[in-house]
Copies of this chain bind each other. A is one copy, B any other.
Amino acid sequence: MYDYKSLRVAVSDGVAQVTIDNPPVNLLDTTLIGDLGHFIGTVRDDRSVRVVVFQSANPDFFLAHVDFRYMEHPDQFAALAELVPGDGTLNPMQSLHLALRSLPQLTIVKLRGRLRGGGNEFAMAADLRFAAAGQTWLSQVESRIGIIPGGGGTQLLPRLVGRARALEVIDGALVQDDLAAALAREGQALGAVYPAPEALVAKVARAVQAGAQTPDGELDLENAIARA
């Protein structure tokens, strides 16, 4: 059901673990965008999955940017519309991120390494961001080539960090050293930053799954109070 070239998907106990593995840097090319689009379009109707966790096989890159070659081959970019959910009214990256945001499941990105441009936009479209402290670098560097973030970044970033910081990041195209410091400052807004996010990701996934398994009207009050 979930068999992809650039993703490895393992479903267990209601949690889908999705490992992004598109060497060398998880570039958002036709292969990876297509695989993500198909997975998101499929899992939304999979009632056996209640939590989706995205992680990277590469500790240095969670997701690099969108393949720059689309700028010389806009027809190939337009053709992505066939590979992602949506009705074609948005551009393909916006459609992909909107489909991620709209999933009925709780979505978590477990961040480590670099995220740039469309990669950062993908992470912002998830419900929760857990980042490895001191090992995660976010950036929207589109303005260096005369464009602005086009996959939802101009909407998603201000909601997470406020208009002023979003302007600083997007208009300034801050270099990584600035952004590493910024992430430390505002981890709480962009997401929760932990020394080792794996443990908390597992805990939240278990808790969501446990809550979902409690049948309505059959509460074990004594046990519930003890656990609370």
Q: Spell out A's residues near B (CB within 8 Å).
A: 65, 68, 71-72, 106, 116, 127-129, 141, 143-146, 160-165, 167-168, 171-174, 178, 182, 185-189, 191-192, 200, 203-204, 207-208, 210-212, 214-216, 219, 221, 224-225, 227-228
Q: Is B191 a contact of A164 with CB atoms below 8 Å? A: yes
15 contacts between A and B (CB under 8 A): A106-B167, A106-B171, A127-B167, A144-B224, A144-B228, A145-B211, A146-B215, A146-B219, A161-B188, A168-B192, A172-B204, A182-B192, A185-B188, A185-B192, A188-B189
Complex alpha-carbon distance, A32 and B62, angstroms: 50
Complex alpha-carbon distance, A118 and B72, angstroms: 50
Give the distance to chain B from A188, nearest Cβ to Cβ, in Å: 5
Q: Is B160 a contact of A188 with CB atoms below 8 Å? A: no
Complex alpha-carbon distance, A92 and B160, angstroms: 33
Known: A128-B168, A144-B228, A173-B207. 15 other contacts (CB 8 A): A68-B221, A71-B219, A71-B221, A141-B227, A143-B211, A144-B210, A145-B214, A145-B221, A146-B219, A164-B191, A165-B192, A172-B204, A173-B211, A185-B187, A186-B188
Please give, as numbers and ranges, the residues of chain B lying within 8 Å of A203 by CB-CB distance.
172, 174, 178
Give the distance to chain B from A3, nearest Cβ to Cβ, in Å: 29
Give the distance to chain B from A42, nearest Cβ to Cβ, in Å: 23
Given A68-B221, A128-B167, check contact A228 B116 (CB 8 Å): yes
Complex alpha-carbon distance, A162 and B164, angstroms: 14
Give the distance to chain B from A222, nearest Cβ to Cβ, in Å: 9
Q: Is B144 a contact of A227 with CB atoms below 8 Å? A: yes
Give the distance to chain B from A50, nearest Cβ to Cβ, in Å: 10
Which 4 A/B pairs are nearest by Cβ-Cβ distance?
A: A146-B214, A143-B211, A172-B204, A145-B224
Complex alpha-carbon distance, A68 and B223, angstroms: 12
Give the distance to chain B from A139, nearest Cβ to Cβ, in Å: 8
Q: Is A172 a contact of B208 with CB atoms below 8 Å? A: yes
Complex alpha-carbon distance, A172 and B219, angstroms: 18
Complex alpha-carbon distance, A85 and B145, angstroms: 35
Q: Is B219 a contact of A171 with CB atoms below 8 Å? A: no
Question: A211 contacts which of B163, B171, B228 (Cβ < 8 Å)?
Answer: B171
